[in-house]
Amino acid sequence: MAARATLRDLAREHDELVNTVHRDEMARTQQRMRIEQLEERALEELGLEVDALVEEYGPHRPVPVLTPAHEGRDQEVDQEGDREAGPAEASQSVPFVREEQQKRLRSAERALAVLGKVNPLALEEFSALEERHQFLGEQLEDLRRTRRDLLDIVREVDERVQQVFAEAWTDVSSAFEDVFRRLFPGGEGRLVLTDPSDMLATGIEVEARPPGKKVKRLSLLSGGERSLVAVAFLVALFKARPSPFYILDEVEAALDDTNLGRLLEIYEELRENSQLLVITHQKRTMEVGDALYGVSMRNDGVSAVISQRLREAEPA
């Protein structure tokens, strides 16, 4: 019985040894395959044989490591007194330690994974984008030049408008004061700019003081006075910037006989150089006209135009 027990122990130990040897053989085989793959990879990617690779980069060689340059590093001064800046990083060699180099490998692999895969078309895409960027840059510069030209034109137009408005304002303001004194003997009227510092955005206010009154606001005047002030402003425009003809639509409807007579005198002055077309119901205004045109309705409801020349045209 003891011999059988010993035989079983020896058989079990033999099986364990055989399994161990088999595992070792498998491990050696896998290791040889791994080494062969690494040799082929080194030859394909680096172009180095195993012996040369081990000799130049084996564990017996120190490992170069890039480290930040010392902040207190002395800067050299050349003969002209200019300081030379030290490098941002310095290289030093350290002994090969597998654990440390494996950490560096994992860190480099993570950084490579963050960068992503290499795009083989990156150079072509970069060239296309660079060409597009150059084209857009030229277009942008062209737009900037066009904008500068337009701003120059706008500035010139503003200056011209300001000049024309200032000249017209001076002439109309002077003419308004003269016409107002004729329509309101003893009164005072003038035009006032709301913002003289900005001639392009300023407004115009009318100040009118009829004779015997102290008020200057138009809202406090009577209807006839407001109408006459408006006529004065209109005539001032006519005198400052004459036109070949004028059309007046019942501008004297609210005037009394005295004020109407004064307005008719101004009509006589305007008709010397311009033609006046006056729409009116005032008999006195009709009497001073050269020709009279009336519109009446016949019995059948159709409008008819009746004309009558009151004065003969003067020979040229």
How many residues belong to the chain?
316
Q: What is the mean pLDDT of the chain?
A: 82
pLDDT, mean of residues 226-249 = 87
CATH 3.40.50.300 residue ranges of the chain are: 133-241, 243-316
d(CA 294, CA 286): 11
pLDDT digits (tens, 9 = 90+) for 151-163: 999 999 999 999 9
Query: Quick one: average pLDDT of 20-47?
Result: 86
Residue type for position 290: D
22: pLDDT strictly greater than 90: no
Band of pLDDT at residue 254, cut at 50, 70 and 90: confident
Tens of pLDDT, residue by residue over 53-96, are: 778 877 888 888 776 654 444 444 344 444 444 444 556 788 88
Model confidence at 273: pLDDT above 60: yes
Give the per-residue pLDDT at 71: 41
77 or 98, greater pLDDT: 98
Helical spans, DSSP H, in the chain? 2-45, 50-57, 98-115, 122-183, 223-240, 257-270, 283-287
The model's confidence at residue 212, banded by pLDDT at 50, 70 and 90, is confident
Q: pLDDT class for 105, splitting at 50, 70, 90?
A: confident
Architecture of domain 243-316: 3-Layer(aba) Sandwich (3.40)
Cβ 233 vs Cβ 183: under 8 Å = no
**pLDDT > 70: what percent of the chain?**
91
* 176 vs 188: CA distance, rounded Å: 10
Which pLDDT does position 84 carry in this prediction? 43
Q: To which CATH superfamily is domain 133-241 assigned?
A: P-loop containing nucleotide triphosphate hydrolases (3.40.50.300)
Count of beta carbons in the 10 Å neighbourhood of residue 91: 9
pLDDT band (50, 70, 90) for residue 135: very high
Q: Provide mean pLDDT across the span 137-165.
A: 94
Rounded to an integer, the average pLDDT of 127-142 is: 95
Query: What's the pLDDT at 313?
Result: 54
DSSP assignment letter at 63: E
Nearest Cα neighbor of 182 from 249, 228, 221 is 228
The whole-number pLDDT of residue 144 equals 95
